[in-house]
Amino acid sequence: MASNSDDKKYTVLIDTSKKEMLNPNQGYKKIVQKLRNRYKFEINKDELRYQKMAETNLVVLGGPRAPFTGQELKEIRQYIEAGGSVLVMMNEGGESKAQTNINAMLEQFGIFVNTDCVIRKAFQKYLHPKEAFIGNGILNKELVRVAKGEGK
């Protein structure tokens, strides 16, 4: 009894509808190539809709540079509240520099994107001030669970 390997693939939806800094051709190219055997990647070029997100395991917002509509923010929140996972990445300068409104949705969950960035003043191990080595850091247990591929 052979099983189809596609049945067990996780689906990742990469949004490109808001002129994201990162997309499968620029920024995600290598990771998509390396993980396409285990994950199915889909690209969203239209407005984000709950029905589309509900068919996926993860929605990636890789640095949106345009504002979301009120309906999109509502449907992203609905997806999260239904147990969906969303990865939001932003560049330094936050939403004001990117001219987006992602904080309107994030603040409802008690998080937001700052306009600042982290730099270190003491050069140790890495030469660039925005690269840092974090030894003995604290990691969220939920991240460890997902990284190991364990179920909810």
pLDDT, one tens digit per residue, over 98-148 is 778 888 888 888 888 877 776 666 666 666 666 666 666 666 677 677 777
- Kindly give the pairing relationship between strand 58-62 and strand 39-44: unpaired
pTM listed for this prediction:
0.69
What are the structural domains, with CATH classification, of the chain? 5-117 (3.40.50)
Q: Which run of H or E residues covers position 63?
A: none
- Is 37 a residue whose pLDDT tops 50? yes
3-class DSSP assignment, residue 72: helix
pLDDT in tens, 56-65: 999 999 888 8
Question: How many CA atoms are closer than 13 Å to the CA of 10, on its beta-carbon side?
Answer: 15
pLDDT, tens digit, 9 for 90 and up, residues 44-84: 999 999 999 999 999 999 888 889 999 999 999 999 999 99
The predicted structure's pLDDT at residue 74: 92
Per-residue model confidence (pLDDT) at position 122? 64
Q: Look at residue 145 and give its three-state secondary structure.
A: helix
Q: Number of C-alpha atoms within 13 angstroms, CB side, residue 32?
A: 17
